[in-house]
Structure 1
Amino acid sequence: MTKPDAPKRHLPTSPFKAPVTSAPKHFALGDQVTHDMYGLGRVIGIEDGIAALVDFGSAQVRVLSPYTKMIKL
């Protein structure tokens, strides 16, 4: 069974609360970040909210938005 691509819509008459959508993450040059796979790193480039180039010491990785596995420290 696969997960649908489109988010479920919320009906105004539903007794359940609407799902909370989190604000998109924004990173700036020089921000220290941690990534689930690569560990600690520093943002060295930004591509207009599409991607961030991060230096993790051993490798430079282009992380695409949404940054689900990356957290700003």
Structure 2
Amino acid sequence: MEPSRATTRRHLSTSPFKPRVPEPVKTFEEGDRVSHDKEGLGRITAVEGTHAVVVDLGGGRLLRVVSPFDKLHLL
């Protein structure tokens, strides 16, 4: 059995269903206060384009979070 491919289907104009709307991309800036689902509260110390951010969690702990930022929420 072959694994299924992750493809997106195009929306037909005659379909009675609404087209799927993509989620907006989360953006962060240095100094933003954030909450991580597992690690807790922190502050953004570095932004690496739209691909990753570095979060200072306090006590010398740094966490690099890569896109998509599902577990990272802006406060």
Where on the TM-score scale, by shorter chain, does this alignment land: which range?
0.7 to 0.9
Structure 2: distance between partners of 1:71 and 1:23:
13
Counterpart in the other structure of 1:50? 51
**Count of paired positions:** 72
Q: CA RMSD in A?
A: 1.8
Q: Quick one: which amino acid aligns to residue 72 of structure 1?
A: L
Q: Which runs of structure 1 show a deviation greater than 6 angstroms over 4 or more consecutive aligned residues?
A: none
Percent of matched pairs sharing the same residue: 43
Distance of aligned partners of 1:10 and 1:23 in 2 relative to their CA distance in 1, 3 Å threshold:
same
Structure 2: distance between partners of 1:19 and 1:13:
15
Q: TM-score, normalised by structure 1?
A: 0.83
Counterpart in the other structure of 1:66? 68
> Structure 1: 5+ residue runs without aligned partners?
none
Q: Quick one: which amino acid aligns to residue 44 of structure 2?
A: V
Offset, 1:50: 0.8
1:38 is the counterpart of 2:39:
yes
Offset, 1:9: 3.1
